[in-house]
Structure 1
């Protein structure tokens, strides 16, 4: 139902990337309502699932986050090889999940350096101040807030010459020049 409502206002779903936890309802809703959109997993939620395999191995989770945020394929591959050598079960689970679901550098859409679903937490904090308003006022507030956020992201994306954000592009450029 939520995806159907969203589909009425999203004009280009083929350009959309939805980041979520592993909730199957989200995946199923996406497949039926937004079959051309991409789906990524929240790095934080994925890390929590991986911790089940390596509770006392902070080094493995550190490698996972470094791979997730890697800006170059060669850097990502190197970190994944290292991970496989120290904890093959976590490596294999990540490959099974699909590297394009969590890796910044392998994402098929512009991810704008958004790796987690902290946006949901941001939204919750914004709604605290209006929670006693009538539902129509709350709905209008949410529409306006999301419209501003998406507009700002779209404007930033149009000015971005690559699939990376300006900050990420500068970071990669600086690292390439220093090596």
Structure 2
């Protein structure tokens, strides 16, 4: 099982244009309250309802385990200006097959620029570095943009029900 580490001790995951900043209790508290701190830079519309819900789950994990650990939530920030434009992360620790479930979202003003795909690719690579066997995700049937993000990040269609399309990626064992 995962060793729970404080997000403040985890390095951010970086991409060419983005920084995936691990959420700790203090930041999660500000997001849950929708009250930015002195150093926070938030895009219009951030945090959204989903970000607030995720922040609440981070706070729950802090209370129960001392921290969300590696498989927690990350704030998506633009590297150029440090502005938070959304969130991405894991729904929790790996399951019994050693798969993680991922989720993400961007404020409307940041969509259509490839940020979600860039962030998801980085998060999947990070999961693989942690020894994860693969990842799962889903998108509402009508959310074609999110379906395209998962496909562009290397996830493949794995089925659907009356509400969502499911995606999955398996990581090849390290050689």
TM-score exceeds 0.5: no
Q: TM-score, normalised by structure 2?
A: 0.23
Report which of the two has the higher share of helix. 1
Q: Larger Cα Rg: Structure 1 or Structure 2?
A: 1
